[in-house]
Amino acid sequence: MGIANRTWAEFASPNGRIPTCLPSASALIFFTFVSMIIVALPTAAQQLEQRTIAELMQKKAYLQDHLSETQRKLDEARQVRTNAQSAESKAESLNDSNAESIARQAMTVADQAIETNQRALAKDEADLAAVNALLESRNTGMSASAAALVDMLNAAAQNLKLPKGGAHFGESLNCKFYFQGLGAELRKRGLAATSDVWSNEELSANEIVSRIESGNSEWKPVSDSDVQKLANEGMVVVGLASGSSHGHIAVAFPTPAGPDLSSIPGKAPFIRDGDEHAPDTEADHKLYPSTWGAVRANRVFSKSAPPQWYVWTPSTSGAQ
């Protein structure tokens, strides 16, 4: 399924309201009804796409507020669970079987509330990501799927917590963490980035490269000339190169339709890899903001070891 399509599925109801389905932790009795009041939200992807920027901004503000409220209720439910567990321990020490039974019941309903809150929180995050992607697509002229991919690549970079300003040459082996960070963002949006290359932190970049190139059905080889086009359609395309000590992984980065990019040296597709690219690769030997952002692939991969490109097949269905 395409990145954007899965993100938007089962969005908010037509009136723009997401029902609050989480009980107050202060009223423990309501926890017993948690499993019965989960509301299935109807699909409204097309309706969302037709909204104006002002409406999308309003939806974004609502979702941000709702997400904060959901997080608050999740924290309350966890506190109730902790209190009930303490009560159970105390009752057990006093050999009070009745109080112990009540405490266990309280833990059960608190666990139900925690599970419901966690599902609601994950949905809020996915819905907010969908709105952000649409806003970005309106502002850049990108397809919605490409804008969603940009949003995930930005989030993966932010989660690396890379230093700002100046050259940090020690920070140059981030590619596999960045790649797996993208995997985490894909999973947040309900996409099945669950194979070991996405999630096994013990794998080195060389091992990830080897597993993708070994004929894994999730990955399909593509030609250099198709990489930028596929990325601009919102597909996840990676460039891979193995090395004697360290391999390298880069993700093709979508480009907006408007700006003329011909002045940027090179004809290779744009990529992001989470690494800092040294100032000596720039004509004036300066460090630019794009150092942590998108650069031409020829600035990352050497001519003697050009990348092999692969598209992640789950991202090809429904990409725009």
Tens of pLDDT, residue by residue over 47-70, are 555 566 667 777 888 888 888 899
Tens of pLDDT, residue by residue over 214-223, are 877 899 999 9
Identify the pLDDT of residue 134. 76
Residue 31 structural domain:
3-140
Rounded mean pLDDT of 208-218?
A: 88
Q: Quick one: 134 and 149 in the same domain?
A: no
Interacting residues of 30 by C-beta distance below 8 A, sequence separation 6+? 23, 24
Q: For residue 142, name the pLDDT band (cuts at 50, 70, 90).
A: confident
Q: Quick one: 10 and 86 in the same domain?
A: yes
**HEC letters along 247-298:** CEEEEECCCCCCCCCCCCCCCCCEEECCCCCCHHHCCCCCCCHHHHCCEEHH
Structural domain ending residue among the three candidates 140, 163, 182: 140
Q: For residue 140, name the pLDDT band (cuts at 50, 70, 90).
A: low
Identify the pLDDT of residue 279. 53
In this structure, of 41-55, 138-152, 173-187, 255-269, the range with the lowest mean pLDDT score is: 41-55
In this structure, of 94-98, 113-117, 162-166, 269-273, the range with the lowest mean pLDDT score is: 162-166
Rounded mean pLDDT of 140-153?
A: 80
Across all residues in the chain, what is the average pLDDT? Answer: 75
Rounded mean pLDDT of 260-275?
A: 79
Q: How many domains does the chain have?
A: 2
Q: For residue 126, name the pLDDT band (cuts at 50, 70, 90).
A: confident
Tell me the β-bridge partners of 252.
271
Q: Quick one: 120 and 156 in the same domain?
A: no
Structural domain ending residue among the three candidates 140, 160, 186: 140
Tens of pLDDT, residue by residue over 296-305, are 888 788 888 8
Identify the pLDDT of residue 103. 92
Q: Quick one: 171 and 132 in the same domain?
A: no
Identify the pLDDT of residue 141. 66
In a domain, 320, yes or no: no
Q: For residue 172, name the pLDDT band (cuts at 50, 70, 90).
A: low
In a domain, 219, yes or no: yes
Which tokens belong to 126? 């996915």
Q: Around Cβ 27, how many Cβ atoms within 10 Å?
A: 8
Tens of pLDDT, residue by residue over 85-98, are 999 999 999 999 99
Rounded mean pLDDT of 15-26?
A: 34
In a domain, 129, yes or no: yes
Rounded mean pLDDT of 166-186?
A: 76
Q: Quick one: 122 and 180 in the same domain?
A: no
Interior angle at CA 151, CA 147 and CA 153, nearest 5: 115
pLDDT: which is higher, 1 or 242: 242
What is the rounded CA–CA span in Å between residue 79 and residue 178? 34
Structural domain ending residue among the three candidates 140, 165, 198: 140
What is the rounded CA–CA span in Å between residue 261 and residue 81? 55
Q: Quick one: 155 and 303 in the same domain?
A: yes
In a domain, 264, yes or no: yes
Q: Quick one: 297 and 148 in the same domain?
A: yes
In a domain, 234, yes or no: yes
Q: What is the CATH number of the domain that holds 208?
A: 3.90.1720.10
Tell me the β-bridge partners of 308.
240
Identify the pLDDT of residue 237. 96
pLDDT: which is higher, 3 or 225: 225
Percent share of the chain, pLDDT over 70? 70
In a domain, 277, yes or no: yes
pLDDT: which is higher, 175 or 266: 175
Identify the pLDDT of residue 167. 53
Q: Quick one: 162 and 251 in the same domain?
A: yes
Q: Quick one: 184 and 299 in the same domain?
A: yes
Is residue 182 within 8 A of residue 151, CB to CB? The reply is no
Interacting residues of 178 by C-beta distance below 8 A, sequence separation 6+? 156, 157, 160, 249, 251, 272, 273, 274, 275
- Residue 189 pLDDT > 50, yes or no? yes
Q: Quick one: 264 and 295 in the same domain?
A: yes
Is residue 270 within 8 A of residue 253, CB to CB? The reply is yes
Q: For residue 81, name the pLDDT band (cuts at 50, 70, 90).
A: very high
Q: Quick one: 97 and 201 in the same domain?
A: no
DSSP H stretches of helix in 35-96:
45-49, 53-93
Q: Quick one: 177 and 310 in the same domain?
A: yes
Rounded mean pLDDT of 25-52?
A: 40
